[in-house]
Amino acid sequence: MKDDSSRQRSALAFEALALPGADVRYVANAWPRAEADALFAAFRAEIPWSTHRLNLFGREVESPRLSCWIGDPDAVYTYSGTRFEPLPWTPTVAALRDDLATRLGVRFNSVLANLYRDGRDSMGWHSDDEPELGARPVIASLSFGAERTFRLRSRATRKTVLSIELAHGGLLVMAGGTQRLYQHALPKRARVEAPRINLTFRRIGEIRDVPT
Ligand SMILES: O=C(O)CCC(=O)C(=O)O
Ligand SMILES: [Fe+2]
């Protein structure tokens, strides 16, 4: 029988980040370099990237990056005042979803893909706290390409509490109270010429936790 190396991966050696009330874990080398290179090239070619138009404070703006919402047909997502019907899974994104189900034990039904063309592209402060994600969502964020800084800040104090360099092939998992208590952002970074692709896998249609 042909050996399938993708099914014989090492366990993920997560580092838990110290953030009160939250659950944030990171592993820098979830995908080895050669595999991460191949995934980056596949995502770039396979995903139908477009500029999302978002509604910010009643004003329609173009997001400073390219994006694509992919998922099961019923995984409809509304954020920043815009409703996104999912595009069908591409082969590589579906394979990664299944890989995460095996290695993380979480079955995701949708993903927001973002392509930051260079250091001028960014994502502003937000929490992934849309009601359809549930009260304590598990979000798996995969990074490929240029290394960029990911920041977390407290929703109460607005002070940055953590900065992480997200590496090529890195996997960040946010769970528990992370979205309720913190915001995150991917700021612009001068002198970065290379692109970065980020995939944030989510579960839409969760039964909401009882509010506490
Ligand atoms: O690009 C990143 O690392 C962050 C993306 C993100 O926060 C999101 O898609 O909600
Ligand atoms: Fe986010």
pLDDT in tens, 6-26: 555 778 999 999 999 999 999
Output the CA 2–ligand 1 centroid distance in Å.
Answer: 36
64-115 residue pLDDT tens: 999 999 999 999 888 777 788 899 999 999 999 999 999 999 999 999 999 9
Q: 179 CB under 6 A from ligand 1?
A: no
Pocket test for ligand 1, best of 148, 162, 172, 198 (most atoms within 8 A of CB): 198
Choose among 165, 199, 209: nearest CA to 17: 165
> For residues 169 and 36, is the Cβ–Cβ distance under 8 A?
yes
Output the CA 128–ligand 1 centroid distance in Å.
Answer: 9
Output the CA 211–ligand 1 centroid distance in Å.
Answer: 26
Choose among 125, 138, 124, 129: nearest CA to 180: 129
Q: Which CATH topology does 12-202 take?
A: Jelly Rolls (2.60.120)
Give the residues across from 115 on adjacent strands: 66, 197
Q: 200 CB under 6 A from ligand 1?
A: yes
Helix, strand, or coil (residue 44):
helix
C-beta pairs of 50-54 under 8 Å, 24+ apart in sequence? 52/82, 52/84, 53/82, 54/79, 54/80, 54/81, 54/82
| Residue of the CA atom closest to atom 6 of ligand 1 | 200
How far apart, in whole angstroms, are the C-alpha atoms of residue 89 and residue 153?
32
143-194 residue pLDDT tens: 999 999 999 999 999 988 899 999 999 999 999 999 999 999 999 999 999 9
How far apart, in whole angstroms, are the C-alpha atoms of residue 83 and residue 108?
19
Give, as residue ranges, everything with CB less than 5 Å from ion ligand 2: 128
Point out the ligand 1 atom lying closest to the alpha carbon of residue 196.
Answer: 1
Point out the ligand 1 atom lying closest to the alpha carbon of residue 184.
Answer: 7
Choose among 148, 186, 154: nearest CA to 168: 148
Q: What is the ipTM of this complex?
A: 0.99
